[in-house]
Amino acid sequence: MTRYKLILEYDGSPFVGWQRQDNGPSVQAALEEAVFGFCGEHTTVQGAGRTDTGVHATGQVAHVDIEKRVEVSTVAKALNAHLRPAPIAVLSAEPVDDDFHARFSAQGRRYLYRILCRPAPPAVERGQVWWVPQQLDPAALQAGADRLLGRHDFTSFRASQCQAASPEKTLDELRIETRDRGAGGLEIEIHAAARSFLHHQVRNMVGTLKFVGQGRWSADDVTRALEARDRRAAGPTAPAEGLYLTRVVY
Amino acid sequence: MTRYKLILEYDGSPFVGWQRQDNGPSVQAALEEAVFGFCGEHTTVQGAGRTDTGVHATGQVAHVDIEKRVEVSTVAKALNAHLRPAPIAVLSAEPVDDDFHARFSAQGRRYLYRILCRPAPPAVERGQVWWVPQQLDPAALQAGADRLLGRHDFTSFRASQCQAASPEKTLDELRIETRDRGAGGLEIEIHAAARSFLHHQVRNMVGTLKFVGQGRWSADDVTRALEARDRRAAGPTAPAEGLYLTRVVY
Q: Give DSSP secondary structure letters for chain A.
A: -EEEEEEEEE--TTSSBSS-BTTB--HHHHHHHHHHHHHS----PEESS-PBTT-EEEEEEEEEEE-S---GGGHHHHHHHHHTTSSEEEEEEEEE-TT--TTTT--EEEEEEEEEESSSPPSTTTTTSEEESS---HHHHHHHHHTT-EEEE-GGG--TT---S-SEEEEEEEEEEEEE-STT-EEEEEEEEES---TTHHHHHHHHHHHHHHTSS-HHHHHHHHHHT-GGGS-PPPPGGGEEEEEEE-
pTM of the predicted model as reported, rounded to 2 decimal places: 0.95
* φ, ψ (nearest 5 deg) of residue A156: -65, -15
* Beta pairing, strands B243-249 & B56-66: parallel
B52 among known catalytic residues: yes
Q: What is the pLDDT of residues A52-76, one digit of tens each?
A: 999 999 999 999 999 999 999 999 9
Q: Work out whether the CA dihedral B214, B217, B218, B222 comes out positive or negative.
A: negative
Q: Which residues of A touch B182 (CB under 8 A)?
A: 7, 58-59, 91, 246-247
Please indicate whether the domains covering A2-96 and A108-249 agree at the CATH topology level. yes
A46: Cβ contacts below 8 Å, ≥ 6 apart: A62, A63, A64, A101, A102, A103
- Taking any CB pair shorter than 8 Å as contact, residues of chain A touching chain B are 7, 9-11, 56, 58-59, 76-77, 80, 87-92, 118-124, 126, 128, 181-185, 244, 246-247
Gap from B90 CA to chain A (nearest CA, Å): 6
Of A91, A122, A184, nearest to B185 by CB-CB distance is A91
Query: For chain A, what's the residue count?
Result: 250
Confidence tier at A163 by pLDDT (50, 70, 90): confident
For the stretch B190-226, pLDDT in tens is 999 999 999 999 999 999 999 999 999 999 999 999 9
Tell me which residues of chain B have a pLDDT lower than 50.
Answer: none
* Nearest-neighbour CA in chain A from B55: distance (Å): 11
**Domain segments of chain A as ranges:** 2-96, 108-249
Give chain B's contact residues with A (Cβ, < 8 Å): 7, 9-11, 56, 58-59, 76-77, 80, 87-92, 118-124, 126, 128, 181-185, 244, 246-247
Are the Cβ atoms of A118 and B91 closer than 8 angstroms?
yes
> Of the candidates B105, B10, B113, which has an alpha carbon nearest to the alpha carbon of residue B60?
B10
Output the pLDDT for position A97: 97
- What confidence tier does A183 reach under pLDDT thresholds 50, 70, 90? confident
Q: How would CATH label the architecture of B2-96? A: 2-Layer Sandwich (3.30)
Region A185-212: mean pLDDT is: 97
Domain B108-249, CATH class in plain words: alpha beta
**Residue of B52, B153, B172, B221 marked active site:** B52
Q: Round the average pLDDT of chain B to a whole number and report it.
A: 96
